[in-house]
Amino acid sequence: MSSSTEIAAIILAAGQGTRMQSSLPKVLHPLAGRSMLGHVLGLSEAIAVARRVVVVGPNMPIVSGAARSHAPDARIALQENQLGTADAVKAAAGEMAGFDGDALILYADTPLVRAETVRAMLSARRSGASVVVLGFRPVDPSPYGRLVMNAADGLDAIIESKDCTAEQRAIGLCNSGVMAVDGAVLFSLLEEVGNNNAKGEYYLTDIIAIARKRGLSCAAIEADADEVLGVNSRVELAQAEAILQNRLRHAAMLNGATLLDPSTVYFSYDTKLGRDVVVGQNVVFGPGVSVADGVQIKPFSHLEGAIVAAGAEIGPYGRLRPGADVGKGARIGNFVEVKAARIEDGAKVSHLSYIGDARVGAGANIGAGTITCNYDGFEKHFTDIGAGAFIGSNTCLVAPVKIGDGAFTGSGSVITQDVSPDALALVRPQQVEKAGWAARFRARFSGKKSGHG
């Protein structure tokens, strides 16, 4: 039995995923802005594992790199040949050397398993079971291995569907593949797994029967079928996305946000919403968004990599790109795009504007159609707009440029030089009026039009 209370996670990520019809490895396809592998690594963080080993196949450096970008301490093990799940776990033996705590076997294409479910499995393992299997009850159990339980609610065997008797096929509890195993016996159990089957593969499920022959106890914990959905195609990827989005919506509302039409709001895995946030219809959150209390996000807005302070308003049709930092009570209105810019407390950018690589000072007002011209074709440049400034409609601010506190710019101006505090900057040609010109113009062309009739 284990002498350690430490936890290790062996994450199987070597599958080719040919049914995805993609050049991207299956486990790197995203759900809610994070790869499936990232979700499983996140699960391992949530349960505070001491060691995590990601098993990859040959020529999969992109998977190894993704694993280490999510978890720099991740160990990488190589499964040279695709010889079954037991062979995949055995590939981790070198990286698991000396470990005798609880070994979790997780799958990078099964990204929806909850931390509380894994904790229940660990509790059962520490209560005396050498192997704990995560089971579920699908609507159609026919493709799955059945969990054969005994009278004492222990697990006696996992029988593959094609090998089931008529009585065993009636069992509704099925194998998800996820396991918690006593690390002190895991690899000795694997050494006894054979490949005398139609595929000539080494099946992890065989360790149940091997453990029982040794007199070791095995157990099963039951999860909802949605939680153990395995993703092998883009259809199943879409199903997993729908399940995860519903979880995220439910959590947001339980934590004090109002979603006016929940099914149309899409979250990232890491979206943070404060209390009394109101989110309108058809709003999308990309990764890295934090929204404080009392914010209104109006319909058809899109936010990613952005911070929104208390009491601000975004949208409708607001676009916050990475680096957008919106202050308290600030207003980002319809068809406004903000990127890498600080909009300070109480400032307003209400209509049809682009603010990039900039600061908009507290209480400033940005008129409709304003553009910070931040890119010269080679480099980005900064625009600094002071507190209380008033930028007239259709102003082009050609960066680098500074608008002083309280300054005004006239509508239609192209500002290329700094503007002093409290000054008015105007860049307009003189208006010229030619009396009667329009009437003469119409008269000249009216005859031509009638001649073509």
Burial of 176 (0-12, 13-18, 19+ CB in 10 A): buried
Q: Are 305 and 289 in contact (CB under 8 A)?
A: yes
DSSP characters over 397-414 = EESSEEE-TT-EE-TT-E
- Sorted by sequence, the CB contacts under 8 Å of residue 256 that are 6+ apart come out as 273, 274, 275, 276, 277
- Other beta carbons within 10 Å of 227: 18
Residue 194 phi/psi, 5-degree rounding, is: -105, 180
Q: For residue 4, which amino acid is it?
A: S
User: Tokens at residue 411, please?
Assistant: 């509508």
Identify the DSSP state of 262: G
| Cα–Cα distance measured from residue 215 to residue 207, given in angstroms and rounded to the nearest whole number | 12
- Other beta carbons within 10 Å of 240: 23
Q: Which of 29, 39, 70, 351 is catalytic?
A: 351
Beta-ladder partners of 195: none
Helices 36-46 and 115-126: crossing angle in degrees, nearest 10, is 50
| Cα–Cα distance measured from residue 299 to residue 281, given in angstroms and rounded to the nearest whole number | 5
SS3 label, residue 216: coil
With left for phi above 0 and alpha for psi between -120 and 50, is residue 213 left, alpha or beta?
A: alpha
| Cα–Cα distance measured from residue 113 to residue 57, given in angstroms and rounded to the nearest whole number | 23
Q: Is 351 labeled as catalytic in the residue annotation? A: yes
- Sorted by sequence, the CB contacts under 8 Å of residue 391 that are 6+ apart come out as 364, 365, 366, 367, 370, 385, 397, 403, 408, 409
Identify the DSSP state of 287: S
What distances in angstroms separate CA 219 from CA 121, 236, 450, one per listed residue?
9, 29, 92
Q: Are 253 and 259 in contact (CB under 8 A)?
A: yes
Say which residue the tokens 């020529």 belong to.
59
SS3 label, residue 27: helix
What distances in angstroms separate CA 19 from CA 24, 102, 145, 237, 429, one per listed residue?
12, 33, 21, 11, 63
User: Tokens at residue 151, please?
Assistant: 């009278």
* Catalytic positions, written as ranges: 351
